[in-house]
Amino acid sequence: MKDVFGKTQGLKATQLRRLERLAQRSAGNKVACTPELARALAECAADTGRMVGVLADRRGNVVEVALGEPTRLYLPDVGRLRAGPGRLRGLRLVVAKPNVKSARGPLPVDHDLITDLERLKLDAVAFIEAHDDGLPGRAALATLLPDPARGPHGEQRHRVEAFAQAQDLAKVALVEIVESLEAELARKAESARTAAQVPGERDVALLVGVYSTAERGARGAAQASMDELVELAKTAGVRVADVVLQFRPTLDGKTLVGKGKLEEICLLALHQGAEVIIFDRDLSPSQLNAITDLTDLKIVDRTMLILDIFARRARSKGGKLQVELAQLQYSLPRLAKKQTGLSRLTGGIGGQGPGETKLEIDRRRAKDRIQRLTHELERYAGERERRRQPRNERDVPVIAIVGYTNAGKSTLLNRLTGADVYVADQLFATLDPTSRRLRFPTLADRVGHEVVLIDTVGFIRDLPDTLKNAFRATLEELGDADLLLHVVDASDARREQHIDAVEDVLDGLGLHDTPRLLVLNKMDQRKDDGAGEAARRGAVCVSAMTGAGLPELIERMRAQSPETKVRTSVVQARLPREPVSSSDQLLNDMPGT
């Protein structure tokens, strides 16, 4: 006998046996429900005074029997909140309910059952009225729609067909309805995937931002944060299906958004064809486990997304090692405490007992790998020190280009030095530090001198400590700099927040005393000349793309940088000798010179 799902305490032995016998009945392999099953369900519902339901596969076999409460039916886990794209679950739900309040007209289907239909992508839900004498009365059949339709209560993703008698369910060719519906769903899924396919895209994601209403300017800050998350997702090769914003007085400690809202998000992801949910916050290990317990969708938080971008962009050996280390350090405490069925015995002497679980083995291997990576990075740091030693011996001043990600730092380096560093209009296009030498032009009262320009990875708001480990090579360069060129995207309406975020990171690195020069870049994309803002901030307005304003920038750089390195840093510069780029020729090629 198949066990009955639900609270069976207090039932009589005869009632329990009647429920167990439901598993031996057939729901029909072609119709919505057989009269025999409808009669048996109605008898059980009337006898127990509770809702009774069965889940049947497409062959008509009953795979689960569920006993609920008088007004609610709880289903067993049938795959959580996910079914395959372009197809249905392959299960139908047949439910009988006693004491239905509506005595006339079509039988209304309970909202909870409609939610189960959509959330689990069931083939259908057959709802049957159970009279007090145990006979079935009215019935209704709910199925999904391939396209959402506008209804009297907003967007409808299902349709309901009413029947005066439950026996009429046996006249519905459900197999034809399901085959037609799946064919349409598959066609639309393939059409949407082909139409939206972009080279390099890997996943389709739903972005979720949850914010506290207690924060000042919460809505404006939330929109800016979500806009940035959208850019991060695109940079990672993810197609954004939709964006969900939620404002709460307090964030839910377990799931951030609350269980009910999470079910809505998963249902939206299902209809949008999204396979990933990306949160605009860092999830704690307990939150990640709680959310993954409720859905089969892949869950990613903000730091995971940025680390994924770093992993794709790192080119140097050191960069790859640093990113892998950061990923392992972040993921180690988030290994899900599941899969106890994967426990296995270890062989050899001392292998008695339950052995190591798969989770324990994964953790031990991750810790071993972290230890090896740490040692490799220490050796690599020594190699960088030896490669950069010649520059230290010549006391060449260092100017580091810093700023928010995608502010135009690499474009500025290319324009100043004639280099050919990779440039793209996307976040974190540069990950590994790049250095080039620049010679200032000779003037009548001053001989030109050389400096080393270093292009660094862009910063971003709320940079976690885990990500700072991936910035180690860049941070070493900043610690040795004699001047910091803080490049800002002057065309971005959020530049004030970007400036503050970069300044917070620099101050946190102990660079309070390092001279800084603010550079308002991308002036070609602004409507005004920015003179007022530049005067207020003591900045220089330039366009690295067109070259406008660079002569003034070079003069300010020469005035603020020493001719020889006079500052001693705890972190010594260790970069190889680079070809010298002369500013004399660069100045001749710039507008207005």
Instruction: Give 318-332 pLDDT, tens digit per residue.
Output: 778 888 888 888 888
Picking from 72, 313, 37, the residue whose alpha carbon sits closest to that of residue 170 is 37
> pLDDT tens across 408-432, in order?
888 998 888 887 776 766 677 666 6
- Of the candidates 433, 452, 438, the one whose C-alpha atom is nearest the C-alpha of residue 395 is 452
**C-alpha distance from residue 328 to each of 270, 299, 461, 524 (Å):** 30, 17, 22, 42
Q: What is the CA radius of gyration of the chain?
A: 32
pLDDT digits (tens, 9 = 90+) for 244-285: 999 888 888 888 998 888 888 887 887 777 888 999 988 888
Angstrom CA distances, 54 to 82, 122, 452, stand at: 20, 12, 74
Q: How far, in Å, are 320, 531, 543, 575 from residue 473 at the CA level?
A: 11, 35, 28, 11
| Cα 490–Cα 417–Cα 377 angle in degrees, nearest 5 | 90
Model confidence pLDDT, tens digit, residues 129-184? 999 999 999 999 999 887 766 555 556 788 999 999 999 999 999 999 999 888 88
In the DSSP assignment, the letter for residue 252 is: B
Give the 3-state secondary structure of residue 254. coil
| Residue 561, Cβ density class (10 Å: 0-12 exposed, 13-18 middle, ≥19 buried) | buried
Confidence of residue 315 (pLDDT cuts 50, 70, 90): confident
Q: How many CB atoms lie within 10 A of CB 192?
A: 16
Q: Which two tokens stand for residue 241?
A: 């299906």
Distances in whole angstroms, Cα of residue 171 to Cα of each of 40, 130, 163, 225, 441:
18, 19, 11, 54, 91
Instruction: List, for residues 524-569, the tens digit of each pLDDT value.
Output: 998 888 888 999 999 999 999 998 999 999 989 988 887 766 443 4
pTM recorded for the entire structure: 0.66
Q: Give the span between the Cα atoms of 534 and 542, in whole angstroms.
A: 10
Q: Quick check: 93 and 51 in contact, CB under 8 A?
A: no
Least Cα distance to 94 among 121, 117, 71, 70 occurs for 117
Q: For residues 65 and 44, what is the distance between their CA atoms, to the nearest angstrom?
A: 11
Res 444: pLDDT? 46
Report the candidate in 112, 110, 84 with the shortest Cα–Cα distance to residue 97: 110
